[in-house]
């Protein structure tokens, strides 16, 4: 998502900005994770949604 909440587009859907509260709310809800887990995932693999999803899935599978 972009910093300007009135502008939406492809950038909104492919990156996660953990410094924006509204984005953290959106992505934690969309991905079903906590703020801490989301922040750790972004720190580990970067802000791309696809990479964060893959990372979270791998973490869940390795925890089983």
Report pLDDT digits (tens) over 20-50: 999 999 999 999 999 999 999 999 999 999 9
Is the pLDDT assigned to residue 3 strictly greater than 70? no
Q: Is the CB of residue 56 less than 8 Å from the CB of residue 31?
A: yes
Distance CA 42, CA 38 (A): 6
pTM score of the predicted model: 0.79
């Amino acid at each position: 998502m972009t910093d300007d909440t009135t502008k939406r587009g492809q950038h909104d859907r492919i990156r996660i900005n953990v410094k924006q509260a509204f984005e953290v709310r959106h992505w934690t809800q969309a991905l079903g994770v906590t703020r801490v887990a989301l922040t750790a995932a972004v720190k580990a693999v970067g802000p791309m949604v696809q990479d964060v999803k893959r990372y979270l899935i791998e973490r869940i599978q390795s925890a089983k």
